[in-house]
Amino acid sequence: MSKQVLSKQQARELLNEIIEGWTSEASGPAIATDPNHPYAQVYEAALSLIDFTSNLAYSLNLIKAVVYEAAREGEDLDWISGEIWFEIRGSGNRSRQQTALAELKRSHVLTDAALDLYNRRVQRLKPVNPTNP
């Protein structure tokens, strides 16, 4: 089965739905109430990141970076969700770079793809500081 990659338009739609769901006073968009919505998995990860960091601006910068990276690199929704969960782990006790390195070491096999992912993760938000987004 081939993966369904995100177009730039779909990336914008996804980001709009995440932001709308977070800021809506009502029940939120369909993405928030329908577990079968195509973006539901990403939406859940995004809201978890926002809740975990308690920093909306920083979280939205991370989410935007991941979604736009996916559109640019031809990644699918599963990849986006996985990378947002990585960002949650990277926002914990360790730095993002330490978390990326730990995950690289856990892969046990250093492939070009694993090293590329490590580099992408480390470079994703180089200029952004979580305490001062």
Distance, in Å, from the CA atom of 47 to the CA atom of 90, rounded to the nearest integer, reads 16
Note the pLDDT of residue 86: 92
Identify the pLDDT of residue 128: 47
pLDDT above 90 (res 82): yes
Reported confidence tier of residue 1, pLDDT bands at 50, 70, 90: very low
Q: Which residue has the higher pLDDT, 19 or 73?
A: 73
Q: Locate 34 and state its tokens.
A: 């329908």
Phi, psi dihedrals of residue 76, rounded to the nearest 5°? -105, 180
Lookup: tokens for 13: 């739609």
SS3 129: strand
Q: Round the average pLDDT of the chain to a whole number and report it.
A: 78
* DSSP bridge pairs for 76: 5
* Statement: residue 67 has pLDDT above 90: no
